[in-house]
Amino acid sequence: MVKNLSNRHLFLNYLGQTSKHPIALEIKKAKGIYLYTSKGKKYIDMVSGVCVNNFGHNHQKVVEAVVNQAKIHMHLMVYGEYIQQPQLQYAKTLVSLLPHNLESIYYVNSGSEAIEGAIKLAKRFTKRTEIIAFKNAYHGSTHGALSIGHENLKNTFRPLLPDVKLLEFNNRENILKVSKKTACVVVEPIQAEAGVILPEEDFLKDLSDRCKKTGTLFIFDEVQTGFGRCGTLFAFEQYEAAPDILVIAKAMGGGMPLGGFISSKNIMDSLAENPTAGHITTFGGHPVSCASAIAALNLLINTSILSKVKTKGDLIYNTLKNHPTVFQIRKTGLLLAVELKEKKLAAKAINALLEEGLVTDRFLFNDYAFRIAPPLTITKREIKTVCKKIIKALDALK
Ligand X SMILES: Cc1ncc(COP(=O)(O)O)c(C=O)c1O
**Which residues form the interface with ligand X (CB under 6 A)?**
50, 110-112, 115, 138-140, 188, 192-193, 221, 223-224, 249
Stretch (H or E) spanning 307: none
Cβ neighbors of 390 (< 8 A, separation 6 or more) are: 320, 353, 356, 358
Nearer to ligand X, 86 or 117 (CB): 117
Q: In angstroms, what is the minimal distance from the CB of 41 to ligand X?
A: 27
Least distance from C-beta 267 to ligand X, angstroms? 20
Instruction: Give 94 or 397: the residue with its C-beta nearer to ligand X.
Output: 94
Query: CB-wise, 221 or 393, nearer to ligand X?
Result: 221
Asked if 256 and 288 count as a contact pair (C-beta separation under 8 A), the reply is yes
| Residue among 244 and 394 whose Cβ is closer to ligand X | 244
**C-beta of 319: minimal distance to ligand X in Å?**
26
CA dist 300 and 228 (Å) reads: 7
DSSP, collapsed to helix, strand or coil, labels residue 134 as strand
Distances (CA, A) of 375 to 51, 190, 379: 8, 19, 10
Q: For residues 237 and 260, give the distance between their C-alpha atoms in angstroms, rounded to a whole number.
A: 18
Q: Cβ(184)–Cβ(132) under 8 Å? A: yes
Residue type, 259: G
> Which CB atom, from 50 or from 391, has the smaller least distance to ligand X?
50
CB 362 within 8 Å of CB 291: no
The minimum distance between CB 259 and ligand X, in angstroms, equals 6
Please report the DSSP string for 183-250 in residue order: EEEEE-SSBTTTTSBPPPTTHHHHHHHHHHHHT-EEEEE-TTTTTTTTSSSSGGGGTT---SEEEE-G
Q: Euclidean distance between the first and final Cα of the chain, in Å?
A: 47
Nearer to ligand X, 119 or 383 (CB): 119
Q: Which residue's CB is nearer to ligand X, number 120 or number 389?
A: 120
How many CA atoms does the CB half-sphere of 197 hold within 13 Å? 21
Outline where DSSP puts E strands in 22-69.
Answer: 27-31, 34-37, 42-45
b/e map 178-202, b = 16+ CB within 10 Å: beeebbbbbbbbbbbbbbbbbbeee
- State the Cα–Cα distance between residues 191 and 369, nearest whole angstrom: 14
Nearer to ligand X, 65 or 192 (CB): 192
**Is the Cβ of residue 228 or residue 352 nearer to ligand X in the bound state?**
228
